[in-house]
Amino acid sequence: MSRRAIYPGTFDPLTNGHVDIIARACHLFDEVIVAILVNPGKQPMFTVDERVEMLNEELGPRFPRVRIETFEGLLVDYAMKCEAQAIIRGVRSVKDYEYELPMILMNRRLNPLVETVLLVAAEDTSYISSSLIKEVFSLGGTIDGLVPDLIVERMNNKIRAGL
């Protein structure tokens, strides 16, 4: 049986921290579905379609066993629909663990068949978050080396387009 995992998140934008976790997940699973949450409640920098396109462009050539999808509703329901055995989440710190634990336990209560696997972030990406990237970028700071070059380019294009 092929081992399939879901790596869910907002990915607004994709960072090198996400890429590190995806690489680690690919060592453990035959197929990794990067699942972008469609969340109309949040005001994102990139639309879901833009994120799907960017993730395909960036991850496609590097990770042939990664698939980019979107989902709405309960994550565990989506995991069952995809026939995934596991949910991947990255942890950078104890604070992340505290944020993840209630979700892990709730997801387990909702569906005990789906296991959450926590992967510890690489030291050099452990301070990177999408929100920090957006803040530094919006204030004119450099984000080179913290997100893939393609993402830097797309963020610059957004600014140029006045969005």
The answer to whether the CB of 6 falls within 8 A of the CB of 82 is yes
Least Å distance between CB 75 and ligand PNS? 4
13 binds ligand PNS (CB under 6 A): no
The answer to whether the CB of 29 falls within 8 A of the CB of 86 is yes
Q: Which of residues 9, 13, 17, 148 is near ligand PNS by CB under 6 A?
A: 9
Q: Name the one range near ligand PNS by CB under 6 A: 8-16, 51-59, 61-69, 147-155.
A: 8-16
Residue number with CB closer to ligand PNS (53 or 77):
77
8 binds ligand PNS (CB under 6 A): yes
Rounded to whole angstroms, how far apart are CA atoms 52 and 30? 21
17 binds ligand PNS (CB under 6 A): no
101 binds ligand PNS (CB under 6 A): no
Angstrom CA distances, 18 to 117, 139, 140, stand at 15, 23, 23
Strand positions, DSSP E, the chain:
4-9, 31-37, 66-71, 86-91, 115-120
Rounded to whole angstroms, how far apart are CA atoms 97 and 93? 7
Residue number with CB closer to ligand PNS (10 or 154):
10
**Is 27 part of the annotated catalytic residue set?**
no
The answer to whether the CB of 6 falls within 8 A of the CB of 78 is yes
80 binds ligand PNS (CB under 6 A): no
37 binds ligand PNS (CB under 6 A): yes
**Beta strand pairing status for 86-91 and 31-37?**
unpaired
Residue number with CB closer to ligand PNS (10 or 125):
10
Q: Which residues bind ligand PNS (CB under 6 A)?
A: 8-10, 37, 74-75, 103, 106-107
Which residues are marked as active site? Answer: 18, 42, 92, 130
